[in-house]
């Protein structure tokens, strides 16, 4: 029984993640998104009432699912449909997550893993735990089935889930399992069997087996013919009614009492244990079929639920999103693309950028400090990763190719002192990337090689980008290395077929930053002087 | 055919030509078992075949005729059909022994009676099946004589009826089916004519999963029946009184006639056949792993030789680690008496010496030998002397210790022995050691012994008449090949190679430092 909300015809496995996904998470600031998506917002009269505590599992799930990219347009579309259904049926999504989480967590207490099982002590306790697990499955599946039947779906994922469950947990199968649970209810208190309310009763077993004899007169080739539980009037031991009952039972032909000899009584208990164990073994196929179902459902519904909650958070800030479109790898077009993570952190809406890069392999962004260059680069990185996990992106529209391999090479703020050790570290990171990179890769370079002199850094950057470009890698770079930028510009100016585009952060003549990126050739200064002036003043 | 006096066959043995071998359980193992690593092999065999098989490896036939007698039996045992039949047979005999144990633990008279009957049935059918299988084989040894004995005994009236009756009653027990209903704190038992009950699982709309869906007997208490089972059987007894009476009678008859079917010739055979089978199963296992065995030609005198001779104990430990050992060829002409083997350390000298000893041993035991082909002389005795760590126990010095062990070997035994000596006098001064070594060699040659002397003293290689020099070879780079060849001892060349190998020449050291 498969869940298949994330992929068509297959379940989630922690497959091949992005190379150095830790860096992607850190450099794009994704943890903030994971954190807010893991919090439920409750409303009262349309106003936010409360933001619940983060659910660690949701955050972790979102992270692991996002770090395994989808690699075809078809896969992306399939996932988008499921996410959309999850968004459309918010309450159902939340319930699916709650029910499956409940099962998974309670199952652990009931000895799911070997170690938990051993903690349960005796085989009898383990057996009763197994029965309780079966009961729990039965209840949860009934609930899930009816939840799914109530909704209208557009996605192939949810439709398939509903159909599969209708077969795997058909009414007939449910009836068999419930009959078993009822038949062996004598073994576990408070399970299934309806008690007689008018009298004091106890639930007693009735077991029939057939067998032959081995050479040593031991029972052999035993077959269980019947097992059932029944309510029996309870009489106080030694009371007249009890004695009468015993007397009447004693008239059953060819029989003997099992209560008079302690050893026989003990062996009768063994018979009960083995009979119940056997019946439970009959349900093994059933439970095995749902062995991973609840884990999968929990995880896959968690991903949908994270999307639901992320949307609520974006709504609060007035940001909207759209489903991106897949196009050729050399194209990238978007309208009003926002670096919403910064917005989430600062609780404000942020400026959107619009840009169209058709048939380009190398984008070089230069320009004013504090002009929003890095933010711009990040917004593309975030959108790309979201798109490749089937989520909507925070923009009016977004079209991009699919890059199964995304690399980030950011000079981190705390790293930016200039010394050889830092350059060494940068080069080592680059070396690691080079080993993995190839055709169909996307690399985001943010202020790379700024840890050495401008001249040296430019040479390194030039060589590396040239080589990468020739290897068919799409490169988006934000740089201060103006010699590098100008050199590329001089070589490619007037040659649109070279596939290079330049953007720079807009700076009004009075020095104010608009945080918009505009097309244009690299200037000789990045206007750090402006910044110096504005901060340090005229000294 | 009338009653057979089983005692008439009491002397028959498949091991012992004259059936007059003294008690197998006497004395301590001779020292060569340890030195030639034979104990490792024997222990390995007895892990599977039990300690009782060990004693047969500890006693060697005294004459070449006895060896030939055994060789013919082993030749038959090795045949596929015979080997399979005999293995199945010993399996059944082991089962009988287990049944006998069960009987001692049995719960109540009725279970005991059934075990008795079952034991008798297994025992006789084991022989019946064995006879049937052996008849099909082309026997060329005393096994065919044994087959005659078995047939005679089995054909007697007593055994025929006994087998029929036991099988009849057991078949009836196995046919019995009944149901037990546990309800209202009582168990009720009902006989059933056929085995047709639909199981609980089959009635449910649920696919049963594989083998673990089998309902197993919950009344586990080993093979003993539990009180509950016994109580059910008591109910059955009331329902089928005639059958259970018959069962009891038969069991009593069997008890009374127990002595009649306790046949000494059978008991002896059951023990002795294990000797052949144990080695044969080892041999088969080794052959599977790619090792070869040869049927040795045994002579009283003449040339002794072997091709592809290897150390069986070493081969055994090599299985699981690739299963490759070095094999060597050799010959020893009638006029030649002693090999003196010299060569580099770790060059396979000791292994070769051991494999020679093993060759003589297994040939003498009447079994096959670890080689591609072999011609072996019959030696009344095997003598070995291996250097050991200084004995703390005796408190003697090493040389002293060696000499004490050497002395009894030097005594005349009145016949030609096979002698394996490994590194004598290593603690003595070379000059002394050479003189002592020569005297030992001289003495053995004079006594007409043959053998091998492993030493680092090249002076011994041409000590006297009758000595053949062998050496362990190195390749061009000075690495041991473990190959043993005839040739004059020449250990200066080895030394330089050794040094090179360890990169300790002047130039190498200069480079390295």
Output the tens digit of pLDDT for each of chain A's 539 residues. 899 999 998 999 988 899 989 999 999 999 999 999 999 988 888 888 888 899 999 999 999 999 999 999 999 999 999 999 999 999 999 999 999 999 999 998 888 877 777 777 788 888 999 999 999 999 999 999 999 999 999 999 999 999 999 999 999 999 999 999 999 999 987 665 565 566 677 888 999 999 988 877 888 888 899 999 988 877 777 788 888 888 888 788 888 998 889 999 999 999 999 999 999 988 888 888 898 999 999 999 999 999 999 999 999 888 989 999 999 999 999 999 999 998 888 888 888 999 999 999 999 998 766 678 889 999 999 999 999 999 999 999 999 999 999 999 887 644 434 444 566 677 778 888 888 888 889 999 988 877 666 767 787 888 888 888 888 899 999 987 888 888 898 888 888 888 898 988 877 777 677 778 878 777 655 444 454 555 544 44
Residue A155 contacts residue A84 (beta carbons within 8 Å): yes
Give CA angle at A211 (A206, A216), nearest 5°.
Answer: 130
Whether B357 contacts B420, CB under 8 Å? yes
Interface contact flag, A279 B200, Cβ < 8 Å: yes
Q: Is A210 close to B239, i.e. CB distance below 8 A?
A: no
With contact defined as beta carbons under 8 Å apart, do B409 and B338 qualify? Answer: no
pLDDT above 50 (res B509)? no
Tell me what pLDDT residue A142 has. Answer: 96
Residue A179 · residue B204 · CB < 8 Å: yes
The partner residue sitting opposite A216, judged by closest CB among B115, B176, B180, is B115
Instruction: Out of B111, B181, B198, name the one closest to residue A216 (CB).
Output: B111
CA distance A280 to B206: 12
C-beta of residue B460 within 8 angstroms of C-beta of residue B434: yes
Q: What is the mean pLDDT of chain B?
A: 82
Q: Strands of A240-361 (E only): list them.
A: 255-257, 325-326, 332-338, 352-357
Residues B93, B97, B101, CA angle at the centre, nearest 5°?
160
DSSP state of A39: -
Whether A271 and chain B come into contact, CB under 8 Å, resolves to: yes
Chain A CB contacts of B175 under 8 Å are: 212
Cβ under 8 Å to B: A residues 302-321: none
A459 touches chain B (CB under 8 A): no
- Contact: B228, A254; criterion CB under 8 Å: no
Q: Are A25 and A17 in contact (CB under 8 A)?
A: no
CA distance B482 to chain A (A): 47
Report chain B's terminal Cα–Cα distance, integer Å: 94
Whole-number Å distance between alpha carbons of A61 and B319: 50
- Give the Å distances, CA to CA, from B511 to A35, A387, B478, B500, B504: 62, 62, 20, 13, 10
**Whole-Å CA distances, B383 to B62, B291, B400, B440, B453:** 15, 27, 19, 13, 12
C-alpha dist (Å) from residue B431 to A456, B403, B437: 79, 17, 10
Is the CB of A204 inside 8 Å of chain B's CB atoms? Answer: yes
- A220 interaction partners in chain B (CB closer than 8 Å): 217
pLDDT confidence of residue B113: 81
User: Which is higher by pLDDT, B300 or A162?
Assistant: A162
Q: From the CA of A284, how many Å to the nearest CA of chain B? A: 7
Are A254 and B189 within 8 A, CB to CB? yes
Instruction: Using an 8 Å CB-CB cutoff, list chain B residues near A273.
Output: 218
CA atoms within 13 A on the CB side of B424: 26
Q: Output the furthest CA–CA distance in chain B (Å, rounded).
A: 101
- Nearest CB partner across the interface for B182, out of A179, A206, A220: A206
DSSP B107-135: SHHHHHHHHHHHHHHHHHHHHHHHHHHHH
**Residue A198 has what pLDDT?**
64
Residues of A whose CB is below 8 A from B215: 209, 222-224, 274-275, 278
Q: Which residues are paired to B453 by β-bridges?
A: B340, B421
- Which residue matches tokens 């020292």? B31
The residue in chain B having the minimum alpha-carbon distance to the alpha carbon of residue A177 is: B206
Residue B256's pLDDT band (boundaries 50, 70, 90)? confident
- CB atoms under 10 Å from CB of A496, counted, come to 12
Pairing of strands B381-386, B480-486: unpaired
Q: Which domains does chain A have, with CATH numbers?
A: 21-32+61-183+287-302 (no CATH), 201-285 (no CATH), 317-536 (3.40.50.300)
Please write the tens of the pLDDT for every residue from B340-366: 998 876 678 889 999 999 999 999 999
**A223: nearest CB among B170, B188, B215:** B215
Q: Do A210 and B238 touch (CB under 8 A)?
A: no
- Look at B235 and A256 and tell me if their CB atoms are within 8 Å: yes
pLDDT digits (tens, 9 = 90+) for B458-492: 888 876 788 888 888 877 666 677 888 887 765 44
What strands, in cross-sheet order, belong to the sheet with B373-377? Answer: B297-299, B373-377, B304-309, B328-332
Min Cα separation A202/chain B (Å): 12
Q: Which of B173, B189, B227 sits opposite A267 (nearest CB)?
A: B227
Choosing among A171, A282, A285, A289, which should be mutated to test the B contact, i.e. which has the most B CBs within 10 A? A282
Residues of chain B neighbouring A201 (CB-CB closer than 8 A): none
Domains in chain B, start-ordered, CATH in brackets?
A: 1-21+59-199+218-288 (no CATH), 292-512 (3.40.50.300)
Token representation of residue A191: 């399970």
Helices (H) and strands (E) in chain B, counts: 18, 12
Partner residue opposite B217 with nearest CB, options A219, A225, A249: A219
Chain B residues whose beta carbon lies within 8 Å of the beta carbon of residue A244: none
Provide the phi-psi class of A535: left if phi over 0, else alpha when psi is between -120 and 50, else beta: alpha
Distances from the Cα of A60 to the Cα of A326, A391, A435, A505, B500, angstroms: 27, 16, 28, 35, 61
Residue of B nearest to A276 (CA): B215
CA distance B227 to B208: 31
Q: Hey, of A137, A213, A248, which one would you mutate to test binding to chain B, going by the most B CBs within 10 A of its CB?
A: A213
CA-closest candidate to residue B195, choices A206, A222, A254, A228: A222
The whole-number average pLDDT for the span B389-400 is 55
Backbone angles phi and psi of B257, in degrees to 5:
-95, 10
């Amino acid at each position: 029984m498969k869940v298949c909300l994330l992929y068509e015809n297959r379940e989630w496995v922690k497959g091949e993640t992005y190379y150095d996904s830790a860096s992607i998470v850190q450099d794009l600031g994704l943890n903030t998104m994971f954190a807010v998506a893991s919090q439920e917002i409750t409303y009262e009269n349309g106003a936010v009432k409360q933001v619940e505590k983060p659910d660690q599992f949701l955050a972790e799930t979102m992270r692991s699912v996002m770090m395994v990219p989808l690699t075809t347009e078809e896969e992306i579309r399939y996932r988008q449909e499921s996410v959309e259904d999850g968004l459309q049926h918010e309450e159902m999504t939340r319930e699916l997550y709650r029910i499956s989480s409940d099962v998974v967590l309670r199952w652990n207490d009931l000895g799911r893993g070997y170690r938990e099982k051993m903690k349960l002590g005796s085989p009898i306790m383990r057996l009763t735990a197994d029965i309780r697990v079966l009961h729990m499955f039965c209840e949860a599946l009934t609930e899930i089935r009816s939840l799914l039947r109530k909704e209208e779906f557009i996605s192939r994922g949810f439709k398939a889930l509903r159909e599969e469950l209708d077969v795997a947990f058909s009414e007939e199968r449910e009836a068999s399992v419930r009959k078993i649970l009822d038949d062996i209810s004598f073994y576990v208190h408070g399970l299934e069997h309806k008690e007689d309310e008018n009298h004091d009763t106890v639930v007693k077993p009735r077991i029939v087996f057939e067998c032959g004899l081995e050479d040593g007169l031991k029972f052999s080739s035993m077959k269980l013919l019947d097992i059932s539980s029944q309510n029996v009037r309870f009489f106080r031991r030694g009371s007249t009614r009890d004695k009468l009952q015993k007397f009447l039972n004693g008239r059953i032909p060819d029989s003997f009492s099992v209560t008079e000899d302690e050893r026989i009584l003990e062996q009768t208990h063994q018979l009960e244990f083995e009979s119940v164990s056997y019946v439970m073994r009959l349900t093994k196929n059933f439970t095995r079929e749902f062995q991973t179902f609840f884990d999968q459902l929990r995880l896959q519904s968690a991903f949908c639920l994270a999307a639901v909650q992320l949307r609520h958070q974006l709504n609060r800030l007035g940001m909207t999103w759209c489903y991106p479109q897949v196009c050729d790898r050399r194209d990238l077009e978007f309208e009003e693309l926002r670096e919403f993570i910064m917005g989430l952190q600062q609780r404000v809406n942020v400026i959107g950028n619009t840009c169209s890069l058709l048939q380009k392999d190398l984008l070089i962004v230069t320009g004013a400090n504090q002009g929003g260059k890095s933010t711009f680069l990040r917004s593309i990185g975030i959108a790309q990763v979201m798109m490749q996990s089937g989520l909507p992106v925070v923009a009016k529209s977004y079209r991009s190719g699919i890059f199964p391999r995304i690399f980030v090479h950011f000079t981190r703020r705390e790293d930016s002192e200039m010394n050889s050790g830092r350059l060494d570290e940068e080069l080592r990171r680059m070396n690691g990337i080079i080993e993995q990179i190839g055709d169909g890769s996307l690399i985001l370079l943010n202020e790379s090689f700024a840890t050495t002199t401008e001249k040296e850094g430019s040479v390194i950057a030039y060589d590396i980008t040239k080589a990468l470009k020739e290897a068919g890698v799409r490169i988006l770079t934000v740089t201060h290395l103006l010699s590098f930028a100008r050199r590329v510009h001089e070589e490619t100016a007037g040659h649109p077929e070279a596939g290079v585009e330049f953007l720079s952060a807009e700076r009004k003549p009075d020095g104010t930053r608009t945080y918009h990126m505009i097309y244009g050739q690299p200037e000789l200064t990045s206007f750090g002087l402006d910044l110096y002036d504005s901060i340090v003043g005229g000294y | 055919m009338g009653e057979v006096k089983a005692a008439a066959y009491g002397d028959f043995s498949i091991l012992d030509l004259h059936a007059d071998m003294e008690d197998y359980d006497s004395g301590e193992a001779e020292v060569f078992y340890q030195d030639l690593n034979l104990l490792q092999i024997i222990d390995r065999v007895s892990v599977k075949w039990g300690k009782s098989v060990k004693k047969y490896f500890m006693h060697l036939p005294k004459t070449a005729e006895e060896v030939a007698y055994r060789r013919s039996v082993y030749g038959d045992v090795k045949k596929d059909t015979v080997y399979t039949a005999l293995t199945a047979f010993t399996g059944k005999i082991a089962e009988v022994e287990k049944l006998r144990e069960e009987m001692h633990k049995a719960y109540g008279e009725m279970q005991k009676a059934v075990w008795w009957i079952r034991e008798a049935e297994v025992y006789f059918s084991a022989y019946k099946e064995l006879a049937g299988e052996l008849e099909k084989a082309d026997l060329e040894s005393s096994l065919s004589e044994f087959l005659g004995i078995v047939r005679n005994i089995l054909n007697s009236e007593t055994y025929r009826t006994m087998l029929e009756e036991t099988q009849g009653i057991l078949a009836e027990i196995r046919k019995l089916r009944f149901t037990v209903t546990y309800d209202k704190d009582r168990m009720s038992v009902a006989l059933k004519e056929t085995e047709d009950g639909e199981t609980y699982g089959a009635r449910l709309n649920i696919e049963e999963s594989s083998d673990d869906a089998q309902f197993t007997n919950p009344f586990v208490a080993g093979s003993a029946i539990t009180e509950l089972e016994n109580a059910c059987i008591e109910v059955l007894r009331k329902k089928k009184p005639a059958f259970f009476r018959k069962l009891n009678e038969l069991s009593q008859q069997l008890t009374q006639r127990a002595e009649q079917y306790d046949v000494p010739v059978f008991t002896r055979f059951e023990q002795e056949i294990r000797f052949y089978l144990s080695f044969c199963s080892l041999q088969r296992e080794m052959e599977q792993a790619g090792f070869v065995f040869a049927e040795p030609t045994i002579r009283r005198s003449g040339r002794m030789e072997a091709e592809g001779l290897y150390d069986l104990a070493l081969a055994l430990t090599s299985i699981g680690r690739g299963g490759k050992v070095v094999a060597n060829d050799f010959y020893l002409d009638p006029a030649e008496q002693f090999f003196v083997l010299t060569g580099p350390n770790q060059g396979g000298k000791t292994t070769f010496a051991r494999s020679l000893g093993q060759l003589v041993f297994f040939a003498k035991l009447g079994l096959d030998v670890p080689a591609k082909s072999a011609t072996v002389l019959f030696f009344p005795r095997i003598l070995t002397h291996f250097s050991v760590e200084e004995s703390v126990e005796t408190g003697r010095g090493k040389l002293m210790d060696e000499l004490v062990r050497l002395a009894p070997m030097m005594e005349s035994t009145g016949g030609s022995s096979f002698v394996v000596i490994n590194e004598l006098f290593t603690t003595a001064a070379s000059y002394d050691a050479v003189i002592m070594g020569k005297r030992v060699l001289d003495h053995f040659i004079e006594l007409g012994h043959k053998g091998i002397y492993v030493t680092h003293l090249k002076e011994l290689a041409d000590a006297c008449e009758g000595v053949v020099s062998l050496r362990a070879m190195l390749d061009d780079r000075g690495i041991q090949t473990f190959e043993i060849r005839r040739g004059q001892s020449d250990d200066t060349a080895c030394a330089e190679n050794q040094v090179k190998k360890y990169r300790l020449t002047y130039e190498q050291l200069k480079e390295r430092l």
